[in-house]
A and B are shown apart, each in its own frame.
Chain A
């Protein structure tokens, strides 16, 4: 069955979606976090009545608007690609995605569009409190929009609250609340939004640091730094807490992703964490060799993080692929066998329905239902196909955490020197502040690489691999559109960044 699927075309389709998603993710986290920072700035203005806070708020609000508008455009392209490159997937999940994306559209239209206009056009036309309310509603609306998108993505990682309809070839929602409150959706939303808050805080610090280095808008920059660094530090603590929760949910619902994140091939009791390591590029599943050329291991910590029990077992890639009877882990080979029974049942069901043979259809349906949880495995050729890219997942995870830790240190340093009134003199720190914006974006993108590469080969965990999810397009077509999109995205990104930089250089004088 898989012999007729062009894997080159699948990989180009994946690359194209990754390209679009990563471009989109340049703008979204800043929208999520800067919306709240602007709301905080304006709250201080309304509370104190100091017009300098109003000037400051309007400056950051201008940058927020630029970033928000560009992010909307990239998001629309992504939703369009669901239908063009992933039509099988779009059809199958339409009933599940329809509700969250419809709610997201309603939120985006009614809350963001309405209050966005009041926020921008209403400075001198509505009362201070009305305007402040509109600003807070934009912040809340933006983040609630993110909720629904992340609920949809969370469902891909842990498909709950649904049943598979073999007649329509669709997953149909049975329990909206199970989808909304799935542990993966909750941890994904909280971790993603709080990481956006951190990135926005770094952005404000970076721009403010640049102003201080140029000795422009000194008081505005100092005020912005204090609020942003405080916001960033609190958000960073929340990122760490929700990151831990994400690892816990991965351990219980996507153990192969966690094993890839840790390059863990053989589980143990307890299992150690490897904060630093260099992978052996020649390592293959089942070869019995050490996965690392160099490593630093902290004993027992992975058991603690994954299961919150120091003496617990964390399965490795080989345990998951080849089975571990002592730990009651089914091998991927057995899952493939059951998956093939599910696919065979689905095929017989389709044929029986076409011929009108009710008894054969009932028998086939029973076979499908008995093995349905492993449906996606029926499309894999060998157990090793279930392993994501270990190097990409492993290194991206460590890059994200290392950069996040550096950013927390940046927040602490900026707060310390702001508290003792010496921030403007610390040119080394101000330069670090400017550079840290690149670190924040790298960390942010690395996190999504972990989340999305780590779930491969699944479009829907255990139920639909990406090889079956995509549209039947030629690899040449997808390759052409990949490079066309790359050129267009890059050209327009340069234009958009120039608009943003020009607005920064203009400074608050424009308001």
Chain B
């Protein structure tokens, strides 16, 4: 069993080590994800995460459905 996992691990390790184009590609993708997530986190807060429980989140949305709050 352990040998099987070791073989699988070695399979992936050798595969990633042999990547050439893949490394450049994944670098570009990681840059994209980091930049976009950072922008989104800084500028677009998820309001619902301010509420600690599902009950409070539901109450907030119900409030939106019945009477939207004043604009900020």
Q: Interface on A for B, CB 8 Å cutoff? A: 1-2, 4-6, 62, 65-66, 69-70, 72-73, 76-77, 80-81, 83-85, 87-88, 90-92, 117, 120-122, 125, 166-170, 343, 346-347, 350, 468, 471-474, 477-478, 480-481, 484-485, 488, 492, 495-496, 499, 503
Q: How far is the CA of A11 from the CA of B43 in the complex (A)?
A: 17
Q: Interface on B for A, CB 8 Å cutoff? A: 11-12, 14-16, 18, 21-22, 24-26, 28-29, 31-33, 35-37, 39-40, 43-48, 54-55, 57-59, 61-72
A472 x B46 contact (CB < 8 A): no
A121 x B25 contact (CB < 8 A): no
CB-based nearest B residue for A500: B25
B36 neighbours in A (Cβ, 8 Å):
77, 80, 485, 488
Q: How far is the CA of A1 from the CA of B47 in the complex (A)?
A: 20
B69 x A484 contact (CB < 8 A): no
CB-based nearest B residue for A165: B58
Cross-interface CB contact of A83 among B48, B59, B71, cutoff 8 Å: B48
- The distance from the CB of B52 to the nearest CB of chain A, in whole angstroms, is 15
Cross-interface CB contact of A120 among B15, B48, B62, cutoff 8 Å: B15
**14 A-B residue contacts at CB 8 Å?**
A4-B68, A73-B29, A76-B33, A80-B37, A83-B48, A87-B46, A90-B48, A92-B61, A166-B62, A169-B58, A169-B59, A170-B61, A471-B46, A472-B64
B43 neighbours in A (Cβ, 8 Å):
477, 480-481, 484
Cross-interface CB contact of B67 among A73, A347, A503, cutoff 8 Å: A347
A477 x B15 contact (CB < 8 A): no
- The distance from the CB of B67 to the nearest CB of chain A, in whole angstroms, is 7
Q: How far is the CA of A210 from the CA of B12 in the complex (A)?
A: 35
Using known A-B contacts A472-B47, A495-B28, determine if residue A88 contacts B61 with beta carbons closer than 8 Å.
Answer: yes
B66 neighbours in A (Cβ, 8 Å):
343, 346-347, 350
B69 x A125 contact (CB < 8 A): no
B44 neighbours in A (Cβ, 8 Å):
81, 84-85, 471, 473, 477-478, 481
